Amino acid sequence: MSELAEPLRPARVVEDPTAYEQLADFSCGAGDAAWESHVDRVVGRLYKGEAIPQTLVVLEDADGRLVGVCSFWLGDLMAPLFRTPIRDAPYINVIGVDRRFHGARLADGSHPGDVLLRGALAAIHGLHGYRHVFALVAPENARAHALFARHGFGEVSPLKEGRQALRIRPPLPV
């Protein structure tokens, strides 16, 4: 595990991911879990300009090393607990901390994923205002569930085995 150089730089939106070279080496896992490979694949596509359009937020440490990525787009949230679908709700497509920093903690005790998700939510609020934000997470992905739970995302179970759980955050300030 690498040491984080603090203070981390403020999380920021990267307008042109194809020009952000650190994406080429990004990896959020050895690929043992499907979600790690998925995040790495999306990041690779963003760097090659082959991804579905989405907003990319990056978090760097004080030395400019890429700590993590989070991307989102607007989608329709068909949540079972609402009367009607919620249109144009920010959907977090991927979030990943580079594997060099897995298990790392900031001086204040928080995880890098916390700073990254807070930064992504701030970017969402800045661009789209306060809205419901949602994500889909494999039931077995305990570390991602813990992260979303720490940031006010409620949990809706999948109906069938093999499907993903829905995490929904109400329109609140970060």
Ligand X SMILES: CC(C)(COP(=O)(O)OP(=O)(O)OC[C@H]1O[C@@H](n2cnc3c(N)ncnc32)[C@H](O)[C@@H]1OP(=O)(O)O)[C@@H](O)C(=O)NCCC(=O)NCCS
Cα(131)–Cα(81) distance, integer angstroms: 16
Q: Rule CB under 6 A: which of 100-139 touch ligand X?
A: 102-103, 111-113, 137
Told to check if 95 binds ligand X by CB under 6 A, we report yes
> For the window 20-39, what string marks contact with ligand X as x by the rule CB under 6 A?
--------xx-----xx--x
| One residue of 4, 8, 56, 94 binding ligand X per CB under 6 A | 94
Task: Kindly report the backbone phi and psi dihedral angles of residue 20, in degrees, each rounded to the nearest multiple of 5, phi listed first.
Answer: -100, 95
* Strand pairing class (165-169; 12-14): unpaired
Q: How far is the CB of 97 from ligand X (least distance, A)?
A: 4
Cα(158)–Cα(138) distance, integer angstroms: 9
Nearer to ligand X, 35 or 134 (CB): 35
Q: How many CA atoms lie within 13 A of 130 on its CB side?
A: 5
The site for ligand X (CB under 6 A) is made up of 28-29, 35-36, 39, 94-97, 102-103, 111-113, 137, 141, 143-144, 147
